[in-house]
DNA sequence: TCGTCGAGTCGAACACCGTTCGTTATGGAG
DNA sequence: CTCCATAACGAACGGTGTTCGACTCGACGA
């Protein structure tokens, strides 16, 4: 006959320590970001998802910023990098920009987080830098021109990803409401106060996002072209 | 002969409640931002600077985000807006972009904060929007072209302001160290791994910031030009 | 085999955050 | 003078990133 467990026995031993790893942490954090957005990206939430405490993460990542950088670099790894071809530099540049932005958009908030980070310096970030510079150089830009173009495209791409992501996520209703109020307000002013804003207001929506991005990249490439031909 | 105050006397009465106002809060917050940067921009710090508690701020601003928006709009008020002139649209556009960025740079962190905000909709933001659109339209762009150009320039300007600000503030040593490590790392790799990164690495510094910005704006304007002539 | 060491895991606690709730104070209107 | 609405305020809530110190575990050397 089995006796019931005596009360001084504390029950099942705590399960064996779960070994963590940097990859595991990054994976988990990216999963959270993808599913729940930037608000879910706290050390506690990540740790919780890994069935541990936030302090455990610090054995593998220096701090939250480093976690974000690692995540960003992982995200960049999803992008295919073209081999620079002088005959196709325009398309390749465009392709690369589109790829970067697409990858960022897949993870709401990553662009915003990385915007404030240090120079991206992970392996994939370096590859991206090299690939873009190679394309720009293949197109005939000087070293400094390529460097500045690289900087501008990177900045704009991230900013655009931030914008698109904010149009898309949970605050969409809020943004629509703000847009509506703005329209109302602007229209309520004396005629002729903001005629251009009134005219273009309806053009801005999540549906025109890609068009905006493409326009910007095409325009910039046209400008680089003019530079090369001068 | 004056007697010392007896211990049951509690000293000076608590000063009369200080009336706050939205302007006062915004002024104080901007002062903090200018002097100490984004880390100082908490409701508690602002309230402290006003000799009150954070709860008092909520009678005047809805939340921290609204405070940031109000601050941004104030900052935009520092910029002179040109009256669109078709003969000078290029210079005017440049001038406006420069003005916006200059204003943002004066307040470390404002660009980053506003990057994540809703559509800027304060009075000055609206004036800016109208002014830029008017210039773009004066240059001969269609409505949608002007709208997209406006969007791109706004995004890039903010992103650039974030970049410049981060090169400038307290984390400068950190960034220099990161750049140094990167250079070291990249050079340590087999020759030919990242030749372009190695070549352009030394070009990036706080000293070349304005050049980068000017290049980007000039290039974009050249692209718009090509569009108009087509 | 045993003991030591270094690295990883973990809980508690620190210092901070934005915001809400309920109370108090104040000024203006009747 | 009284009442009411609004602003100011303290306490507290629920959260954040991070550190500190204790504990665990596996590898290595004696």
Residue A123 has pLDDT above 80, yes or no: yes
Query: Which residues of B are less than 8 Å from A148 in CB distance?
Result: 211-212, 215-216
Side-chain-facing half-sphere of A132: CA atoms under 13 Å: 28
Mean pLDDT over each residue of chain B, to the nearest integer: 88
Whether B12 shows a pLDDT value over 70: the answer reads no
Tokens standing for B106?
């004066």
B13 CB closer than 7 A to any strand D atom: no
**In chain B, what are the domains?**
17-61 (1.10.10.60), 68-229 (1.10.357.10)
Question: Tell me, what's the pLDDT at A14?
Answer: 47
Beta strands in A111-192, from DSSP E residues, in sequence order: none
Q: Give mean pLDDT, residues A167-174.
A: 66
ipTM tops 0.85: yes
Residue B178: predicted pLDDT: 79
The answer to whether the beta carbon of residue A18 comes closer than 7 angstroms to any atom of strand D is: no
- Scanning every strand, the nucleotide with its C1' closest to A18's CA turns out to be C9
Q: Do A115 and B118 touch (CB under 8 A)?
A: no
Contacting residues of A for B171, CB less than 8 Å apart: 118
Q: CB-based contact (8 Å) between A195 and chain B?
A: yes
CB B147 to CB A200 under 8 A? yes
Residues of B in contact with A129 (CB under 8 A): 194, 196-197
Nearest residue to A101 (alpha-carbon basis) of A156, A161, A152, A159: A161
Q: What radius of gyration, in Å, describes the C-alpha atoms of chain A?
A: 24
Determine what percent of chain B is predicted with pLDDT higher than 70.
91
User: Are B148 and A216 in contact (CB < 8 Å)?
Assistant: yes
| A107-111, B14-18, B64-68, B166-170, range with the lowest pLDDT | B14-18
Among the residue ranges B102-116, B126-140, B167-181, the one predicted with the least confidence is B167-181
pLDDT tens digits, one per residue of A9-33: 444 444 557 789 999 999 999 999 9
B191-230 core/surface letters (b: 16 or more CB in 10 A; e: else): eeebebbbebbebbeeebbeebbebbbbbbbbbbbbbeee
For every residue of B56-122, DSSP letters joined together read HHTTT-SSHHHHHHHHHHHHHTTSPPPPP-GGGHHHHHHHHHHHHHHHHHTSTTHHHHHHTSS---S
Per-residue confidence (pLDDT) for residue A10, from 0 to 100: 42
């Amino acid at each position: 006959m089995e006796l019931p467990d005596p009360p001084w026995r504390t029950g099942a031993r705590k399960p064996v320590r779960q070994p963590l790893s940097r990859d595991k942490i990054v994976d988990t954090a990216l999963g959270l970001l993808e599913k729940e957005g930037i608000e879910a990206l706290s050390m506690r939430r990540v740790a919780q998802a890994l069935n541990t405490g936030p302090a455990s993460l610090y054995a593998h990542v220096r701090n939250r910023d480093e976690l974000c950088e690692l995540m960003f670099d992982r995200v960049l790894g999803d992008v295919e990098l073209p081999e620079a071809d002088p005959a196709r530099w325009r398309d390749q540049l465009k392709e690369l920009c589109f790829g970067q932005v697409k990858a960022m958009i897949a993870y709401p908030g990553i662009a915003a987080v990385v915007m404030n980070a240090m120079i991206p310096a992970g392996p994939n970030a370096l590859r991206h830098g090299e690939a873009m510079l190679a394309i720009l150089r293949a197109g005939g830009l000087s070293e400094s021109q390529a460097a500045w173009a690289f900087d501008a495209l990177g900045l704009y791409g991230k900013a655009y990803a931030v914008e698109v992501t904010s149009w898309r996520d949970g605050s969409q209703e809020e943004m629509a409401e703000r847009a509506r109020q703005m329209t109302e307000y602007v229209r309520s002013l004396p005629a002729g106060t903001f005629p251009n804003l009134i005219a273009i207001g309806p053009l801005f929506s999540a549906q025109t996002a890609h068009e905006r991005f493409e326009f910007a990249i095409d325009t910039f490439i046209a400008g680089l072209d003019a530079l090369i031909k001068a």
